[in-house]
Every structure is written in C-alpha cells, then in structure tokens.
Amino acid sequence: MKNVVLLGATGSIGKSCLNVIRQNKEHFHLFGIGFGSNLDRAQEIAKEFNPDHIFVDQYQTDKSHIFWQDHSNTLSSEDELRGLIQDSSVDIVISAISGFAGLKASYFAIEAGKVILIANKESIVAAGDILMPLAKKKNSEIIPIDSEHNAIYQCLPLEKNLKEISKILITASGGPFREKPLRDLRRVSLNDAMNHPTWSMGAKITIDSATLINKCLELIEAHYLFNIPESQIEIVVHPQSIIHSMITFIDGSTIAQMSNPSMEVPISNALGMGKRLPINFTEIDFTELNLSFEPVAHDRKMIFDMAREVCNKKGNLGVIFNASNEIAVDAFINKNIDFVDIYEAIQRTFDCFTCSKINTIDEIFEYDKEARIQAEMVIKSLH
C-alpha cells in the first residue's frame, strides 16, 4: 500500500487522479489532499476517501462553510504543507495545483527526496534550474503526468540512454484556433478560447492551449525533464490527440505512445511506477482512425522562439516567461485584454529583462514577483 498526497485534489487533474486511485484502492491510500477554495468538492472527496490530512491554502476565507465543522484540524500554513509532504509515511506526492502556486509543493516534495508525479509544469518551467539538480542530489524521482511527457517517459529506453535519441516529437492538438490565422483572433471571446476540441481541463491550461503557450511550456518542461537540447525537440500539430508524443531514435525507429485522450492513462502509468495498473478506458478503434499531422502555424512562431530562448539561456527567463503568461491569462479571463494581447504582454515583459543565473529557490520567487509587476505595467500600457 502506497501513501499518496494529492495536491490540487479539487481540480481537473485531481479528479482524474482520484478516478485512478478509486479503481486501484488495494494499492493506494490517500494520506493527504490539498486544494485552494472549492470546499464543496473537498467535502465530497473527504467523505469518500477519508484522507488523514487536509491542506487548504491560506487564501480561503469562507469560514461559515459546513466543511469546517467536519474538518476543524485542516492544515493551512506553509510549514504545515511542508510537514505534510515531507512526512516519513508519504510515498508519492502528486503536484497538481495549477500555475506558479504549485511550485512550493513541488519544491518540498523534491527537497524530501519523494517520488513526485508532476502535472504542475509551471514548477519545472519557472524553477527547472533549481528543481532538477535538487532532485538528483536528493534522489527524488520525478515522473511526468502531462500526457506528452508521460508519453515520452513511456517511449524512453529503460536504460535512458539519451545518446540513442535523435529527436523528441511533442504533439499538439492545435487548440480551438488551429485553423485561424493570428490576424483573425483579435475578437475571439473567452468562450471561444475555452472550447478545447479534445481535452477538458482547468481554465488556465485551457487558455494556454488556445494560445499554444501550453506547448511552449511543454517544450521547456521536456527540455528540463529529459535533459535534451531544444534543438532535438520538435512540435507537431496532431489534431486528433491520439498520439501523445514520440521519440525518433538514431537508428531511424520512431516509437509513439497512443490512447484516446484521457488523463487517466498517463496518471495510471505514473502511479504504477513501472507496473501497469488496470483502469477503465475506451479502446482505440484503429479501423476508424484517421490521423493527421501538420507543422505549427508560422504566425505563432514568435512564442516558440521565446520558449527556445528560455531553454538555451535558462536562469531567470523561465520564471519571467511563466509569470508574464499567468498575468496575461488572468487579464484575458477577467476581460481586461483581448486574446492576442496575451502574446504582446508576454513578449514585452520578456524583453524588459536580461538573462541572469539563478542560485536559490528564493530568487525564483523574487523574479516571479518582479515579472508580475512588470507584466501588469505592460498590460496597463496596452490600452
């Protein structure tokens, strides 16, 4: 029996994790959950799974909710979060909080040498320079949940001989605006952007998928997780989301991982840690498949150029890229800026900083703060 701490339990990934755990109760015990504000959902999860510990972030204020009657000993400080994650009984930490807010949990898990299943790609993008060496030092195993990275993880040879890899191909659905040129996107609404063709996900990552910034974050994530130069990572648009990523080896073989789009597939692979766990899934009907591939539209190239620069120069650039995107996405969700302004806000904020080396996790938090202030100023100047 493995003790699992699931952070981001009330979210979309959280739900898929719970579905996998529910189907494999004899292997996993929910030792702890963490969430932000959805007390109704947390109440339901607590009732069904009876976790030993519950963490809720301090920003939660609705103290009159019935949740508090049943869970008065809920954890909420940063020290308590660290204590929960680093408890010696914990075997697996799932980092599935959305955005930069998930970094602390990822950091605490890696610091304690835990097995960490990482959905929170923003942690790796913002703090890859700190987290990857720390994981090595602390012997913390990082297993990706993001479907593309889990696909790559499944395709890698067991001995992980990176010299045998010619190229990693990350697939992209292309999002809801795949067939629209950038110049036609000025007037798209929040609803249009939230209407993802193949995946149902949380709000932030759904907007990231519409802008393709999600693929930029994934490019940087892959670069750090697999220690592969960006020049060996190609993005391929594959609208059906059946092939989740591929590796071409130096002998000309390409290995792909396939499934119908469901996050339960990569999650069960990650939770299985080398063993295949049984889950309910919809089989691919190969006789009905019609797979297609195309390059990323040329008019979105500028954001991939930024992401590739992050991979090549590293340091503070990842945290700046990530923070400016988070501020811009928030502004778009709150209807303060147009869809295409997201690109403008990221590019202008990014251009305000020069690359500097990062030595500590605290510096990441400082750059994040600075980049957010800068992005807010840029956004004000846009209108």
Q: Which residues bind ligand NDP (CB under 6 A)?
A: 8-14, 34-38, 57, 96-98, 101-102, 119-122, 146, 199, 201-203, 205, 263
Distances from the Cα of 138 to the Cα of 115, 142, 158, 304, angstroms: 11, 11, 21, 32
Overall size of the chain counted in residues = 383
In sequence order, the 6+-apart residues with CB closer than 8 A to the CB of 27 are 1, 2, 271, 277
Contact segment (CB under 5 A) with Mg ion among 143-151, 176-184, 287-295, 348-356 equals: 143-151
What's the closest the beta carbon of residue 258 comes to Mg ion, in angstroms? 15
How many other CB atoms are found less than 10 A from the CB of residue 20?
Answer: 24
221 counts as binding Mg ion under rule CB under 5 A: no
DSSP per-residue letters across 108-175? HHHHTT-EEEE--HHHHHHHHHHHHHHHHHHT--EEE-SHHHHHHHHHS-TT--GGGEEEEEEEE---
Q: Which residue number places its CB atom closest to ligand NDP?
A: 11
One-letter amino acid at 344 equals E
Measured distance CA(372)–CA(383) in Å, rounded: 18
92 binds, among Mg ion, ligand NDP, none (CB under 5 to 8 A by kind): none
- Buried b vs exposed e over 71-107: b needs ≥16 C-beta within 10 Å? beebbeeeeebbebbbbeebbbbbbbbbbbbbbbbbb
Q: Indicate the residue among 59 and 286 with the shorter CB distance to ligand NDP.
A: 59
In sequence order, the 6+-apart residues with CB closer than 8 A to the CB of 110 are 116, 131, 134, 135, 138, 140, 142
**8 Å CB contact between 248 and 303:** no
266 binds, among ligand NDP, Mg ion, none (CB under 5 to 8 A by kind): none
Q: Indicate the residue among 8 and 175 with the shorter CB distance to ligand NDP.
A: 8
What's the closest the beta carbon of residue 219 comes to ligand NDP, in angstroms? 14
Q: Indicate the residue among 128 and 348 with the shorter CB distance to ligand NDP.
A: 128
273 binds, among Mg ion, ligand NDP, none (CB under 5 to 8 A by kind): none
Q: Indicate the residue among 244 and 348 with the shorter CB distance to ligand NDP.
A: 244
38 binds, among Mg ion, ligand NDP, none (CB under 5 to 8 A by kind): ligand NDP
**8 Å CB contact between 32 and 55:** yes
208 counts as binding Mg ion under rule CB under 5 A: no
Q: Select the residue interacting with Mg ion from 111, 122, 129, 146 (CB under 5 A).
A: 146
264 counts as binding Mg ion under rule CB under 5 A: no
Q: Indicate the residue among 3 and 171 with the shorter CB distance to Mg ion.
A: 171
Q: Indicate the residue among 38 and 382 with the shorter CB distance to ligand NDP.
A: 38
Q: Indicate the residue among 119 and 327 with the shorter CB distance to Mg ion.
A: 119
34 binds, among ligand NDP, Mg ion, none (CB under 5 to 8 A by kind): ligand NDP
Note the residues at the interface with Mg ion (CB under 5 A).
146-148
